[in-house]
Structures are given as structure tokens and as C-alpha cells.
Amino acid sequence: MTYKTNQQENTYEYLPANHLNLHIDSKDAHITHSIDELSKDIGLRRIEARTSLKVILLSLFWSDTGRLITPRNKEPFGPMRYNPHKIGPASFITALDKLVEHEYVIQTLGFKDVINNASAKTTIVATPKLTEYLHNNKWSHQDGCTYKSTPELVLLRDNSKKKKLIDYKDSRSSNWLRNELTKYNNLLNNSEILLVKYNSTGEEDIVKEYHSLTLARKFIQHNPRGSDYDVELSYGGRMYAPWCNLNSEQRKMITINGEKTVELDLQASSINVIYIAKTGVRYPGGDPYNVSVGDKLITRHIVKQAATIMLNTKNIQGAVAALEEHYLPNVFNDKRSKKNLKKASEYELMKLTVKPSEVMKAFLEKHKTIENSFLKGKRMGDLVACQESDRVFEIVRRFTKNNVPILTVYDSFIVQEQYKDNLQRWMDTLLPLMYK
């Protein structure tokens, strides 16, 4: 995603964009020939730069948004597992600059606006000159595309702010998970998943069609291991999909195979996952986020946010600072939604009578059985997130086994209305993932 900036009004317009597809390829002779000819035309002599040009053009042509994220930093694109063309940042930037110089693409440089809490990555769109060139060389979406290698579905990144993808030695677990993810992606890509709205006559208009999906799970390496050790899939493990960018009202517009859908949430899933790990059963006392300080009942979303933060910080002081930043970010021009601004106001109102630290201590007192899982730092938070993600994926796996497509948005599920009861039963069970 990116933004288009209106400097006079200091506002940002949301513009969807696709990431580079580092696995994409084409064996069609006319496409290969046209890329070679364009390489000569814009002065790319080195084979590495020509390979980068191929990946840029194919990714842009197959982008369903018409806009492509094109990083300009000097960070490597990752090991061969994620980068089969062996593209390097220098050759990539060279190819990108030549396309801009010869007016084949329009580049919008990335930015970070700290004051307005907005940022964007560098993107490109094709110019009419490039569109005409591809048309004259008979590029067509009917031809399809191929892959240099199968896109990796089990990702592993380091535990740094740069979140670099790293290589690993496959294990029985990673091979099993990759196989299950492949089945899931095949089912989704053989299903009709649409975002629709109704026009003035009551007929459906297709807003977006989701296809050519490659959904992966991304894990975090907290324990650096040598090449002789199998990969450890114990931290992180989230699975991101394009519908995760939709708000709750937009997600109601999703249809699967022509049927309306319903979205169900795993209630208090992270807390219940901890209880199951510690005691073998879910929290038995109702809503785990029902917390009072004295005679004052604390608004639920504040308690939930405080609990999430305490799972990823090391002390109360740091957790309070993070909670404050979440609700009251230090920005000049607050662009949050009305819903989030309302939550911020409720947080400010609470602070008039109750300290955030008192809320956190009351929560820990309520959950003394699992108290030692909190305030242990990000590693513990990523461990719990993985246990939660594993249970989400086990439900996905069971639906896939029954040939029923299901979509996930972190800890919620979207299914056709006819499968609502089946989903609820498995959600209530909080199933552990088979391979673990």
C-alpha cells in the first residue's frame, strides 16, 4: 500500500499496491524477447540488471492494482529460498532507475511523515509508453505466468527491526506445514472469492476479485540455530491475506462461491491459549477482560489492550508507556478513525480516576494462575501469538480437508453462512495444531 500526498492540504490518499513477486517468471518466447529488447533500449548490459527488469515488468503486469512496491534501500532481498532469481539491491535499483529515466514507469518515492503519523513505500505505475510497448509485443494476461520456483509458504524472519527473511533447514514440521498450506492455497484459488456491493437496483457489483493467492505463515527466529539444526516454528506464525486490510464493514461484503458470508471471532483467544497451556482448560470465569479497580469497571478494550501489551513488555512502566502511545500518540494531525478516537477519549476519561498501572495490576491479580506469562518481553508475546496462530490454522486445515474455503483475519474467520455452526463448534474447542 502507499499514499498520494497533497502537500497543500497535508493529507494522504490511500492507494493500493502489490509487493514484488520474486518468484515470477515467463517462458513465453515473445515475452522473453521483448524484455531482452527493452534491456538493450534502456542500456542494461549486465545480466543481473536484466533479470531485475524481468521481475519488475512481470510483477507490474500481473499486479491487480496496477501499482507495484519497489524498495530502494540497500537491503538484500533474502536467500535463494525467497529470491530464486538471486536479485541484488544494486542491480534492482539500476533497472528501476533506467525505467524511470526512459519514461516507462512513473515512480512515487516513499516517505515517512512523523508529524502526521503517515508513511509510504516507493511505488511505480506503468506509463502509456510501457503499456503500448507491452501491447505491441503481444503481452496478454491470457498467457498466464510461471514461477522460477514455487513461492515459499513457510517464512522465517530474524528478530530485528529490519525483519530480514532468513534461510533455514527444513524439518518434518515445516514440510508438513508447507504441504497443508499448499492445499489451502489451491482450495482458495479454485474458489470464487469476491468483494461485492449492491447498486441502486439491488444488483451486485464486483468491487474486487481475489485470485492467484499465495498465503504464507511467517515465523520469527528467537533462538539462533546453526545449519545442522532443524527450523523451530515456535514464534509468530501469523498468516496475512489481502482481506486483512479491509475494515469490519467492508469484510461483510465478501462472498465465497456466490454465497454471503459471516465473520466469527475467537473470543479472548490469547488468554485462553495461555490457560490451556498452563491448566489444560479455558479460563473458567467468564470474560477474562472483565476487570474492576475498586468499584469502577474498566472499559473492556482498555483491559484487552493492556493485557496484549503486557505480553510483549518486560515491566509495568514500559507497558504503561506503550499503552499511552497506543491511545494517545504524539502526532500533530491525528488521522485515526472515529471509532479509535472514541476509544482514545474513553482512555483519557478513565485516567481521571484510575491509573493505567492499577488496571494492569488488577488484571494480573485476576489471572494469578497465568501471571508468570506476562511482563516477560516480546519473546513470550511471540510464543503466545504462535500458539494462537496454530489453533487458527488447525481450524483452517480441517475446513480445507472438507473442501470448504475459509478466510482468516488474525483471530477471526469468514465462512459461508451455512458453515457457521461447524465453525463455532471448532472455535469453542480451541484445537491444537496437529504437527505440534
CATH architecture of the domain formed by 1-151: Orthogonal Bundle (1.10)
Report the pLDDT averaged over residues 99-106. 97
Q: Higher confidence at residue 142 or residue 106?
A: 106
Query: What are the residue ranges spanned by the domains of the chain?
Result: 1-151, 152-288+367-436
Residue range 101-124: mean pLDDT, rounded: 83
Q: What is the pLDDT of residue 118?
A: 66
Q: What percent of the chain is predicted at pLDDT more than 70?
A: 94
More confident residue, 16 or 80: 80
Confidence at residue 226, expressed as pLDDT on a 0 to 100 scale: 66
Question: Is residue 311 over pLDDT 90?
Answer: yes
What is the mean predicted confidence (pLDDT) over 308-314? Answer: 97
How confident is the model at residue 1, as a pLDDT? 47
* 64 has a pLDDT exceeding 90: no
Judge whether residue 8 has pLDDT over 50: no
What order do you get walking across the sheet with 105-108 strand by strand?
Answer: 67-69, 123-126, 105-108
Instruction: Tell the residue number behind the cell numbers 501491447, with chain if given.
Output: 135
Mean pLDDT of 83-88: 95
- Mean pLDDT along residues 33-38: 96
pLDDT band of residue 244 (cuts 50, 70, 90) is very high
Higher pLDDT: 339 or 184? It is 184
Query: What is residue 436's predicted lDDT score, i.e. its pLDDT?
Result: 63
**272-307 pLDDT, tens digit each:** 999 998 998 999 999 999 999 999 999 999 999 999
CB 34 within 8 A of CB 134: yes
- In the predicted structure, residue 430 carries a pLDDT above the cut 80: no
Per-residue 3-state assignment (H helix, E strand, C coil) for the chain: CEEEEECCCCEEEEECCECCCCCEECCCHHHHHHHHHHHHHHCCCCHHHHHHHHHHHHHHHCCCCCEEECCCCCCCCCCCCCCCCCCCHHHHHHHHHHHHHCCCEEEECCEEECCCCEEECCEEEECHHHHHHHHHCCCCHHHCCEECCCCCCEEEECCCCCCCECCCECCHHHHHHHHHHHHHHHHHHCCCEEEEEECCCCCEEEEEEECCCCCCEEEECCCCCCCCCECCCCCEEEECCHHHHCCHHHHCCEEECCEEEEEEECCCHHHHHHHHHHHCCCCCCCCCCCCEECCEECCHHHHHHHHHHHCCCCCHHHHHHHHHHHHCCCCCCCCCCHHHHHHHHHHHHHHCCCCHHHHHHHHHHHCHHHHHHCCCCHHHHHHHHHHHHHHHHHHHHHHHHCCCCCEEECCEEEEEHHHHHHHHHHHHHCCCCCCC
What percent of the chain has a predicted confidence (pLDDT) above 90? 74
Closest CA to 415 of 401, 434, 396: 396
Residue 119: what pLDDT? 72
* Span of 39-48, 168-177, 226-235 with lowest mean pLDDT: 226-235
Could you tell me the pLDDT band of residue 205, with boundaries at 50, 70 and 90? Answer: confident
Q: What is the pLDDT of residue 354?
A: 97
pLDDT at residue 117, rounded to an integer: 62
